Structure 1
Amino acid sequence: MATSLPPTLDAELATLLGADGWLTGEQMRRAHGEDDSRMSALPDAVAVPRDRAQVAAIVRACRAHRVPIVARGAGTGTTGAAVPFAGGVVVSFARMDRIVEIRPGDRCVVVEPGVLNGDLQQALQPHGLFWPPDPTSFERCTIGGNLACNAGGPRAVKYGASRDNVLGLVAVTGTGETIRCGGPWTKDATGYDLTHLLVGSEGTLALIVEATLKLAPRPRAQAGLRAFYRDAAGAAAAVARLMAQPQVPAMLEFMDGSAIALLRRHGIDVPDAGAMLLVEADGDDDTLPAALQALADAADGEDLLSLDVATDGSARDRLWAARRALSPALRTIAPGKINEDVVVPVSRIPGLVAGVEALAAEFVLPIVVFGHAGNGNLHVNILYHPDDDAETARAQAALPRLFELVLALGGTLSGEHGIGVAKRDWMDRAFDAPTLAAMRAVKAAFDPDGILNPGKVLPL
C-alpha cells in the first residue's frame, strides 16, 4: 500500500536502511501502530535502524520534510505514548539490542535501547548484580521504553525507578544532533542534568540510542511478611511506620478490601480484612533476621488483624501468590479495565481508597485498588464490559473524577506509566501555566520543529 510520505524521503530512507530496515507494507505498519493502551493508528512507514548514526540520519531526513517520528520499544506502554496518531515514521529499536559493556568494577552496564529488561537481568546474574526497575512486563519490555516512561515496579520503594538508576545517555535530538550526558560515575556536579531530564520524556525531546545504567548488588537473602488490617487507614499508618525504619523494605505492596474480597471469591487463602500489606526485606543471612523483625514490629498496631512471616523461598512464594493472582482475577469481573497508576502522599492513601469506594458506588462499577504503597503509587482498576455501552460510558465518566480526587489529595497523575495521550489533557490541571510554559520551552529547545512524538505529554 502506498504511503503519504514525500517520495524523496521514502527513497532516501529506503537507501539508508535497506529492505529489512525500511518497512512500508500495511501489515508491518499496523503491527507498529499500537501498544498496550489498545489505541492504534497507522504510521506511514517503520524504520528499524542498526546504529546511532542511522537514527541521526533518520531524524535529519524527517526534519527536512517535517515528518513526525515516534520512537518504539516493545509496545508494552498503556498510555498511547508509542501510537503514531499523526502518522509519519515509527522508529523501532528492535535491532539496536546490544549489551555493549558490563562493568562490574564500576557497578554499571552500557546498553542499547532495544535490550529487553529480562535479558539484561539474566546477563547480570553471573556478576551478582541487577538493574532495579522491575515493571510487570519486565520479560518483554525494553530498556529504552523503561527510560522513556520512567518505569518502576515493586522494588522502586527501596531502589528507585528508572530515573534513579541511569547514569548517562547518548541521544539524538529533534535536530538530528547526537548529545552525550552523564557517564559511568555516581556523583556529578557538572552542568545541567540532561540525563534525568530525558528519562520520562516519552520520546518527545530526543531518541535515546545508548544508556549507562546503575547496577545494584544482588541480595543474598530475602524474607517477607503479610499483614492484614481492619481498614485502609490502619494499613496507611503501618506504611508510615515501615518507611521510618532504617531498613527500607525491598517491596511494600498494598491491597484494598475489594482486592481481598476478590481473592477470597477465587479461593485464595486470605482472611477477610479491610486492607493488606505485603512487605519484603532483603540483605544477607546475618542481618536479615533483625531487619525482618524490625519491619514486623513496625507493621504491628491496633488495627492489625493478623501477620504472617515467610523466610524460605517456597514460603515467600506462597506469601506473594495472592499478589500474582490479583491481575488475572480482575478479568473474571469484567473484560474491560482502565488501570491508572496515580500517586498520593502516603498519609492520603485512606482518602484515596475512600474516594474510590465512593466513585464505585456512584458509577455502579467495581473498582479495585492495589499497588506500591511505600511510594503512594497505587493502581486504580476501573472494571467494565466494553460491549455494554452504558457501562463503558460510566467507566469513562469515572476516570476524570479519579484524577480530580488525586489532585485534590495533593497527588500526581502517574507514578510509572507516563502521560502519553491518556492523561495529556489533565496536565494543565496538574501544573500551572508558568510551569507548562517552561516545559514547552524545553521541548522547543530539543525539538524546534515539533517532530518528535507530537501530541504527547503536553496539552495541545
Structure 2
Amino acid sequence: MNTPSSALDAELSALLGEYWRTDDVSRRAYGEDNSKRYALPAGVALPGTRQQVIALVRACRAHRVPLVARGAGTSSTGAVIPYQGGVVVSFERMNRILEVNPHDRYAIVEPGVLNGDLQRALAPHRLFWPPDPASADISTVGGNLACNAGGPHAVKYGATRDNVLGLSAVTGSGEPITCGSLTSKDATGYDLTHLLIGSEGTLALIVQATLKLLPLPAQHGSLRALYTDVSSAAAAVARIMAQPQTPSMLEFMDRACIRLAREVGGADIPDAGALLMIETDGDAATLPYALETIAGAANGEGLIALDDAPDDASREKLWAARRSLSPALRTIASGKINEDVVVPVSRIPELVAGVEAMAAEYALPIVAFGHAGNGNLHVNILFDPDDEAQSLRAQTALPRLFALTLSLGGTLSGEHGIGVAKREFMRDAFEPATLATMRAVKAALDPDGILNPGKVLP
C-alpha cells in the first residue's frame, strides 16, 4: 500500500489534522532507520494521546492497513521499516514524563521520551533508569521497550525487561490493555508486561510505561586488565562473575579491537590478546573493598597488566578506549554488519576463536567487543559495499556466525532484537512448536496481522 485510500486518508486527517502526513519528504524520512534499509509508507501518523492511538489502530484495522510503530529510528535490524507500506506511527509527540515518584522509585512516561532526557530528569532525585544502550541520548524509551535494550550496565542491573513495572498498550484489535502494577512484586495473572517488552511492536503499541528506578551510585571505580589471549580473559570473566561483588560494567575487546582502538582511535593501550574494562560502583565505605575483590578475581593466568583509575579523570581516560571503537571501525570499512550474539560466558573463547577463523576464511576484518559479563558480544563484519565479492562474503559469513553461536548454547540477539535482519534465523533458534506458540500469541493480540507485519517471526 503506497498511497492511502481516500476514505482512510479522510479519517486520519480528521483525527490528526496536520499530524497526518502523506508528503514524499515525510514518507521517506520515516521509512528508514539506522539499518540503512528503507521502504515508503503510505503515510505517517503522529498521535499525541492514547485515545488517538486507539482510534488510529481501529481505523487501520477496519481498512486492513498495516501499522508500524516507530521511536527514534535507531534500530539496526530494520525493525521499523514499513516493507508492506501502510502507516508509520511515530510517538515523538507522546514524550511526556508524567510522574516521578522518588519514594516508591518509579517513573511513569510516554513512549516518545528520550532515554537521555529521562536520565537528566531523574538526576536531581539521585535516581536513574538502568538501560543504557549506546544510542541512549537519542533513542526513545518506547524503542528501548520494543527491543528489550540493554547496554554496559546490564551485567549488574539487567536489561529493559528487568526494569519495568507495568505498561499500557493498544492491541492490534484496537483494545487498550494495562498490565503490571506500581509494585516490585506482582504474582497476579499472566505476565503480559514481559511479553510485550521485546516484541518489536508486533503485538501491541505501547502508549505508557511505569519504569523501575534505582538510586544513583555515590562513587565509581574502574580497572583495565590486559591478557595474553582470549581464553585467559574469559576465565577471568568467569572468576569475576562468580564472586559476590558484581561489577557494574564488564566490557571485552579482542586483539583486533585493541589494535583498532590504538592505531586508529588513538587509545593508549599496549598490545595484548584481549582486554577487559571493568567498573564497579558503591560508596566511600564499600567501593575500595569491591575494587580489591574484583581485582583479585581478575588476576590469574595470562594477565599482562592490571591498571586502576584512582579518580574521575583517570576513569574517563580508561573508558575513552571503549568509545573509540565505533569511529575506528568506520575508518576501516564503510560497510558493517553488527550482530549482538550471546553465548554462555564460559564459551566466549570458542566464539572468538570461531570469529577469528571466519575472518581468515572470508578474508574480511571481523572484530568482537561488548558486554562480557553476560556473554553478549558485538561481532562486526567489515566490508566494502561497493565491492560485490566482499559484500557476498560478508553475507555468507553471517549465517556461519549464527550457527556457531547457537551451537555454543547461545542466542541470536542480546539487545538489538530480530527485526528483519535475523528473522529467517529464528527457525534455527527455535523448534517448530515454539514458533507456532509465538504465532498463536501474535494472532490473539493482533488477529488481522496489521502490527509491524513481516518482523520477528519467519
TM value normalised by structure 1: 0.98
Deviation, 1:337, is 0.7
Task: Give, as a single letter, the amino acid of the residue that structure 1 aligns with 2:114.
Answer: L
Match of 1:240 in 2: 238
Cα deviation digits, residues 155-214 of structure 1 (max 9, x gap): 000000000000000000000000000121100000000000000000000000000000
Cα deviation digits, residues 52-104 of structure 1 (max 9, x gap): 00000000000011100000000001000000000000000010000000000
Tell whether 2:76 aligns with 1:78. Answer: yes
Q: 2:166 touches 2:193 (CA, 8 Å); kept in 1? A: yes
SS at match of 2:275: strand
Q: 1:89 aligns with which of 84, 87, 90?
A: 87
* Residues matched between the structures, number: 457
Cα deviation digits, residues 104-147 of structure 1 (max 9, x gap): 01100000000000000000000000000000011100000000
Equivalent runs, 1:105-254 vs 2, <5 Å: 105-254=103-252
Q: 2:147 touches 2:198 (CA, 8 Å); kept in 1? A: yes
SS at match of 1:74: coil
Partner Cα distance (1:264, 1:454) in 2:
43
Q: 2:2 touches 2:85 (CA, 8 Å); kept in 1? A: no
Cα deviation digits, residues 236-294 of structure 1 (max 9, x gap): 11001111121110000000011112223234211111100000000111110000000
Equivalent runs, 1:6-25 vs 2, <5 Å: 6-19=5-18, 21-25=19-23
SS at match of 2:183: coil
Tell whether 2:408 aligns with 1:409. Answer: yes
Cα deviation digits, residues 354-405 of structure 1 (max 9, x gap): 0000000000000010000001000000001111111111111111111111
Deviation, 1:3, is 5.1
SS at match of 2:340: strand
Deviation, 1:18, is 0.5
Equivalent runs, 1:249-328 vs 2, <5 Å: 249-266=247-264, 267-328=266-327
Match of 2:385 in 1: 386
Match of 1:56 in 2: 54
Partner Cα distance (2:376, 2:366) in 1:
16
Tell whether 2:342 aligns with 1:357. Answer: no
SS at match of 1:41: coil
Identical positions, percent: 70
Partner Cα distance (2:393, 2:246) in 1:
40
Tell whether 2:35 aligns with 1:65. Answer: no
Partner Cα distance (2:205, 2:430) in 1:
25
Task: Give, as a single letter, the amino acid of the residue that structure 2 aligns with 1:361.
Answer: A
Match of 1:436 in 2: 435
Deviation, 1:327, is 1.0
Partner Cα distance (2:376, 2:198) in 1:
16
Q: 2:2 touches 2:86 (CA, 8 Å); kept in 1? A: no
Q: 2:3 touches 2:43 (CA, 8 Å); kept in 1? A: no
Task: Give, as a single letter, the amino acid of the residue that structure 2 aligns with 1:401.
Answer: R
Task: Give, as a single letter, the amino acid of the residue that structure 2 aligns with 1:348.
Answer: R
Match of 1:33 in 2: 31
Deviation, 1:4, is 2.5
SS at match of 1:167: strand
Match of 1:330 in 2: 329
Deviation, 1:311, is 2.7
Q: 2:99 aligns with which of 98, 101, 122?
A: 101
Q: 2-11 or 212-221: which moved more? A: 2-11
Partner Cα distance (2:20, 2:258) in 1:
49
Deviation, 1:317, is 0.5
Match of 1:370 in 2: 369
For structure 2, the 5+ residue unaligned runs are none
Task: Give, as a single letter, the amino acid of the residue that structure 2 aligns with 1:437.
Answer: A
Structure 1 runs, 4 residues or longer, greater than 4 Å off = none
Partner Cα distance (2:423, 2:76) in 1:
13
Partner Cα distance (1:278, 1:264) in 2:
15
Q: 1:222 touches 1:311 (CA, 8 Å); kept in 2? A: no
Partner Cα distance (1:402, 1:61) in 2:
42
Partner Cα distance (2:262, 2:53) in 1:
51
Q: 1:3 touches 1:24 (CA, 8 Å); kept in 2? A: no
Match of 1:455 in 2: 454
